[in-house]
Structure 1
Amino acid sequence: MTTILLQAGGGSLFTNGFFMIAMLAVLIFFMIIPQRKKAREQKEFMEGLEKGQQVVTASGILGSIDKIEDRIVTLNVGNKTYIRVTKNAISKELTDAIFTTKADKE
């Protein structure tokens, strides 16, 4: 019997380098750029908060803004009940999901 030995193709340095660069480009295009865009939108949202605006915190608490003091926001959650949260706790995604959906239905 004869045995045939197959040698795995090592590929050239150019081919290996090309695939590494392609994988890096895919990583940047699909992960890093969208994450930066999302962070920028959240920052703009936090800077644009105003008294009376309906918001949702990251933990799901709904309320309207009663007072904004630097990085602390006081929310009126109903019946003169107030809670204080940081601006970072207010979620653009959840606020858009809850309040734009209600506006669309009306």
Structure 2
Amino acid sequence: MTQIILAAQAGGAQGGSMSFIIMMVAIFAIMYFFMIRPQQKQRKKIQQFQNSLAEGQEVVTGGGIYGKVKRVDLATGIIEVEIAHGVVIKVDKNFVYDNVAATMQTAQK
């Protein structure tokens, strides 16, 4: 009788660990599809925008500064942005995040 109880306990523990592994895989899959994958897509979209910067585009920097691109230096990765008439600042290419014209069109829809 005790051998049957011990065998049942051993079998139950084995099934419990299998369900735990399945649950952990399911949690990881949910995190991947709802958190990691969308962030990767957004980062790829921002990187494509940064690589296609051109003079005359109105942009927003990471600090929330709006301005117009005056000069793009791809060798050093520095963008010169005019934030007011005659006021030009240098910004790293990686900190220019959005195109103002595209944002305004999306907001007006």
TM tier, smaller: 0.7 to 0.9
Residues 6-55 of structure 1: CA distance to partner in whole angstroms, max 9, x if unpaired? xxx85722211110110111111111101110110011010111100000
Give the count of matched residue pairs. Answer: 93
| Pairwise CA RMSD | 1.9
Distance 1:26 1:79 in 2: 49
Aligned: 1:20 with 2:34: no
Relative distance call for 1:38 and 1:25 in structure 2 (3 A) is same
Alignment of structure 1 residues 1-106 onto 2, 5 Å? 12=15, 13-70=17-74, 71-92=77-98, 95=99, 98-100=100-102, 102-103=104-105, 105=108
Return 5+ residue gaps in structure 2 as ranges: 1-11
* Percent of aligned positions that are identical: 29
Larger % of helix: which?
2
SS of 2:88's partner is strand
SS of 2:25's partner is helix
Displacement over 2 Å in runs of 4+: 98-105
Relative distance call for 1:30 and 1:102 in structure 2 (3 A) is closer
Query: C-alpha displacement at 1:101, in angstroms?
Result: 5.1
Return 5+ residue gaps in structure 1 as ranges: 1-8
SS of 2:70's partner is strand
TM-score by length of 2: 0.75
